[in-house]
Amino acid sequence: AESPLLNTADIQTGQAKLFAFASIGSPVADLIGALCSPMHFSIPEYEQVSDSDGASYTSYKIYVNGVFHCSTRFSELRSFYDALVEGHGARAVPAFPPKRLFGLTASQLGERRAQLELFVQQVSQDPALGGRFQTFLQGAQKASRGLRPEPVELQIGLMTGKRCCLSVLNTDRTDDVLEAFAKTAGLSERFAYYFGLFLVATGASGQPAVLRRLQDFELPCVSLAAAQQEAESARLVVRKAFWDSLLENELYDEPAALRLLYAQACADLDNGWILPSREQADRLADYRQSRSRRDFLRLARTCRFYGFLPFPDCFADWPTPDTPAVVWIGNKELVVRPQSARTEGVFRVVRMRRWRLSTPSAPGATAPNSRGDSVPCHELSFEYLVAPDSLKWFRINTHQAVLLSLCLQSVVDEVVMKKAGGQIRTPADRDRGRDPADLNDFVDRQRPFTRRVGGAEDHQSLAQRLAHWSAADSAAGAAATVADNDSFVHAIGDDDL
């Protein structure tokens, strides 16, 4: 089924990407966060436009994580392809649709759109080419908006509603803005990337909703303006960019970082995103009144759903099909809480063999969002190890399936990064003068974990343990582009079973 957001039937997700390739103690592990962020790319639509000379051409719209990012022409993508071939060789670059001497019919334009979309997706998933593709996207976003560098005042807020004003350029990237915020907030440079920029909007109920996290190649000024066209209340907010609450210990001796963590925890508690017991709630109120930030945070970390992100308005097939539920993700878990029951289903990330993102089987299926609108309802499904010798598919339908998938991917990345001995990158790791793809040759030599989607390589020990998989369960994902979860093999142990 087609939707206004994503025109592809399935989008590859679930890869641990380069984190899985960094060896323990490898120097590339510290830089790995800069090279790979979980993203979904699509070209769902195109349109005929005219240039300044009145000549007509086809403009293809590239969406990132389900949101419009930029428009580009076939010739621009062709020039990008030629540059990749020149730098990497034709055999290392995905196939590109051929040029045509004559005008294209409607069906041929649709075919070209699909071919360009496949090219974009394959390039974005290749660690050798991904850095150059991000550079292309950044330039395309500037060109789409006709931007020239100009100083602007950009409002950056916290979940509590407090804001500060940054003097930046309208062409600054996400990392540029994060570093400017860190300087304004008095945050040590080495902790700047422990936090991220998020787009947040307020629903009709007054509750905030996280729309998405900005990627490094994005221009926050442009992304914010685009988001405000869809939701007037959209704003840029700083939140912590990691899931493991143990990482907070490194931040407690940093006054600015402590204030940011405390503000987020207070806002999440007020919004019902943290569910303390009655006794915990009373103690948190006392710590809050006395401004005992460390004590507040240490207690908050023991509360249910601390550090989780909620997804309301979901429909899950647990415990029964099409159960209205709120889905929570965090702490290496995905939790399904039915709206009409006090029970919950807890799914551990390390027991998810793979997952996929696709459109629902019913054409035009919709679900209400927090504002009461009917929006396209996509499906996130995952194959779960329910017993030592049994796998089962579970499905969640929600208009936030893309964001849910991205969060799940980032949890996986963090699990594998921790196992590989990696660290959260710092501004000092950021090489502003070199294409991140230049590190690829070194990365290729540091791949102790190997798992290629659709390839012949396999993890024999786990395959033997699960030798009698249900053919029906395996067929459930056969038509989809399915990617494996490296943490399933590299982080799972007998205790998890």
Q: What is the pLDDT of residues 24-77, one digit of tens each?
A: 222 222 222 322 345 678 898 899 988 778 888 999 999 887 778 889 999 999
Q: What integer pLDDT is reported at residue 3 of this predicted model?
A: 29
Please name the residue ranges forming H helices in 313-423: 401-419
Domain locations in the chain as residue ranges? 41-146, 151-303+462-492, 309-419
Q: Classify strands 151-157 and 345-348 as parallel, antiparallel or unpaired.
A: unpaired
The domain 151-303+462-492: what is its CATH number? 3.10.20.90
Q: What integer pLDDT is reported at residue 447 of this predicted model?
A: 25
Cα dihedral 193, 197, 203, 205 sign: positive
Q: What integer pLDDT is reported at residue 28 of this predicted model?
A: 27
- The two domains 151-303+462-492 and 309-419 share their CATH topology (first three levels equal): no
Q: Which residue has the higher pLDDT, 145 or 324?
A: 324
Which option is the CATH number for 309-419: 1.10.3720.10, 2.30.29.30, 2.60.40.10, 3.40.50.2300? 2.30.29.30
Q: What integer pLDDT is reported at residue 495 of this predicted model?
A: 52
Provide mean pLDDT across the span 106-126: 90
Q: What integer pLDDT is reported at residue 485 of this predicted model?
A: 63
Q: What's the token pair of residue 17?
A: 């990407």
Angle formed by the axes of helices 293-300 and 278-290, to 10°? Answer: 160
pLDDT exceeds cutoff 70 at 472: no
Mean of the per-residue pLDDT values for the chain?
Answer: 78
φ/ψ (deg, to 5) at 38: -65, 125
Q: What's the token pair of residue 123?
A: 């390039």
* Buried b or exposed e, range 300-339, using 16+ CB within 10 angstroms: bbebebbbbbbbbbbbbbbeeeebebbbbbbbbbbbbbbe
pLDDT exceeds cutoff 60 at 441: no
H or E element that contains 87: helix 74-88
Q: CA 432, 180, 182: angle at the middle one, nearest 5?
A: 110
Cβ(435)–Cβ(39) below 8 Å: no
pLDDT exceeds cutoff 70 at 175: yes
Provide mean pLDDT across the span 242-250: 93
pLDDT exceeds cutoff 50 at 261: yes
Q: What integer pLDDT is reported at residue 313 of this predicted model?
A: 84
**pLDDT tens for each residue of 291-307:** 999 999 999 999 999 99
Cβ(155)–Cβ(235) below 8 Å: yes
Q: Which residue has the higher pLDDT, 445 or 373?
A: 373
CA distance 490 to 453: 16
* pTM (two decimals): 0.75
Q: Which of 131-135, 220-224, 428-432 has the lowest mean pLDDT?
A: 428-432
CA distance 386 to 403: 25
Of the candidates 198, 203, 214, the one whose C-alpha atom is nearest the C-alpha of residue 271 is 203
Residues paired with 158 in a beta bridge? none
pLDDT exceeds cutoff 50 at 16: no
pLDDT exceeds cutoff 70 at 11: no
CA distance 366 to 401: 12
Query: Confidence class of residue 355 from pLDDT cuts 50, 70 and 90?
Result: confident
Query: Confidence class of residue 365 from pLDDT cuts 50, 70 and 90?
Result: low
Q: Which of 161-165, 198-202, 417-421, 450-454 has the lowest mean pLDDT?
A: 450-454
CA distance 136 to 116: 14
Q: Which residue has the higher pLDDT, 139 or 341?
A: 139
Cα dihedral 298, 301, 307, 310 sign: negative
pLDDT exceeds cutoff 70 at 381: yes
- The CA-atom distances, in angstroms, between 124 and each of 17, 72, 133, 407 are 11, 16, 7, 18
* The domain made up of 41-146 is a member of CATH 3.40.50.720: no
